[in-house]
Amino acid sequence: MNKFIHIRQVNQDLVLSDVFELSNTGGLTVVYTCTNDDVFFSVACCSQRDQFSRTIGRKVALERLLKEGPLDILAAVHPIGDSIIEWIELNYFDKPVKIFRREHRWVSTFEEIA
């Protein structure tokens, strides 16, 4: 069974506040599937020029997982979503970024952390 994580882009000035503003553009969608020992996942990145769409993100991420194989394979350590988020923070971009859990959403500025 495939599961999805959506990471929305937010306004940098508000990311550390309790109130934040979701951007209509940008973001990531992660698809993952698990065995007893491993987590296989792939990512679809929404351009800053494109409207964020969960539906399109799920479709693109799943197609990549099925056609190109997983971006990486992680040990199945619970909570699995947190393990995937940590990998993306450190490995997906050229420089590390911070992804936050706010109001039941994963959000980020996608800017490198100092």
Q: In angstroms, rounded to a whole number, what is the distance separating the alpha carbons of residues 13 and 10?
A: 9
Burial of 83 (0-12, 13-18, 19+ CB in 10 A): middle
H/E element, 103: none
Q: What is the pTM of this model?
A: 0.89
How confident is the model over 44-99, as pLDDT tens digits? 999 989 999 999 999 999 999 999 999 999 999 989 999 999 999 999 999 999 99
Domain ranges of the chain: 3-112
The predicted pLDDT at position 18 comes to 65
